[in-house]
Amino acid sequence: MSATGSLPGTDRLIALEGTYNLRDTGGYPVLDAAGAVVGRTRWGVLLRSDALHRLSEGDLADLARRGVRLVVDLRDERELLAAPNRLDGLDVQVAHLPVLGEASPATLVTGRIDLATLYDAMVDQRGEALARAVAVLARAGDGASIVHCTAGKDRTGLVVALALRAVGVPVEAVAADYGRSAEHLAGDWAREALAAASSLGPGDELPPGVVEIVTASPEPVLTALLARVEAEHGSAAAYLVAHGLTDDDLAALRARLVEPAEQAVDASPGTIPTLVEDPR
Lowest mean pLDDT among 49-63, 94-108, 197-211: 197-211
Is 93 within 8 Å of 136 (Cβ atoms)? no
Query: In Å, how far from its chain's centre is CA 24?
Result: 10
Is 51 within 8 Å of 149 (Cβ atoms)? yes
How many other β-carbons are positioned within 10 Å of the β-carbon of residue 212?
Answer: 19
- The yes-or-no verdict on residue 110 having pLDDT over 80 is no
Question: pTM of the predicted model, to two decimals?
Answer: 0.88
Higher pLDDT pick, 75 / 3: 75
Q: Name the band, by pLDDT with cuts 50, 70 and 90, for residue 277.
A: very low
% of the chain at pLDDT higher than 90: 74
Q: In what order do the strands lie in the sheet with 258-260?
A: 29-31, 37-41, 258-260
Q: What are phi and psi of 80, to 5 degrees?
A: -65, -40
pLDDT at 279: 29
pLDDT at 113: 78
Write a three-state SS string for the chain: CCCCCCCCCCCCECCCCCCCCCEECCCCEEECCCCCEEEEECCCCEEEECCCCCCCHHHHHHHHHCCEEEEEECCCHHHHHHCCCCCCCCCCEEEECCCCCCCCHHHHCCCCCCHHHHHHHHHHHCHHHHHHHHHHHHCCCCCEEEEECCCCCCHHHHHHHHHHHHHCCCHHHHHHHHHHHHHHHCCHHHHHHHHHHHCCCCCCCCCHHHHHHHHCCCHHHHHHHHHHHHHHHCCHHHHHHHCCCCHHHHHHHHHHHEEECCCCCCCCCCCCCCCCCCCC
Distance CA(239)–CA(263), nearest Å, equals 29
How many other β-carbons are positioned within 10 Å of the β-carbon of residue 8?
Answer: 7
Q: Name the band, by pLDDT with cuts 50, 70 and 90, for residue 197.
A: confident
Averaged confidence pLDDT in the chain: 87
pLDDT at 280: 27
pLDDT at 103: 59
pLDDT digits (tens, 9 = 90+) for 144-156: 999 999 999 999 9
pLDDT digits (tens, 9 = 90+) for 39-65: 999 999 999 999 999 999 999 999 999
pLDDT at 262: 75
- Report for 117-121, 185-189, 222-226: range of highest mean pLDDT: 222-226
Section 116-127 average pLDDT: 94
Is 31 within 8 Å of 55 (Cβ atoms)? no
pLDDT at 106: 55
Q: Name the band, by pLDDT with cuts 50, 70 and 90, for residue 265.
A: low
pLDDT at 205: 59
pLDDT at 195: 84
- The yes-or-no verdict on residue 107 having pLDDT over 60 is no
Lowest mean pLDDT among 31-40, 43-52, 62-71, 267-276: 267-276
pLDDT digits (tens, 9 = 90+) for 71-95: 999 999 999 999 999 999 999 999 9
% of the chain at pLDDT higher than 70: 82
What is the CATH topology of the domain spanning 23-260? Protein-Tyrosine Phosphatase; Chain A (3.90.190)
pLDDT at 194: 84
pLDDT at 123: 97
Q: Name the band, by pLDDT with cuts 50, 70 and 90, for residue 224.
A: very high
Higher pLDDT pick, 266 / 150: 150
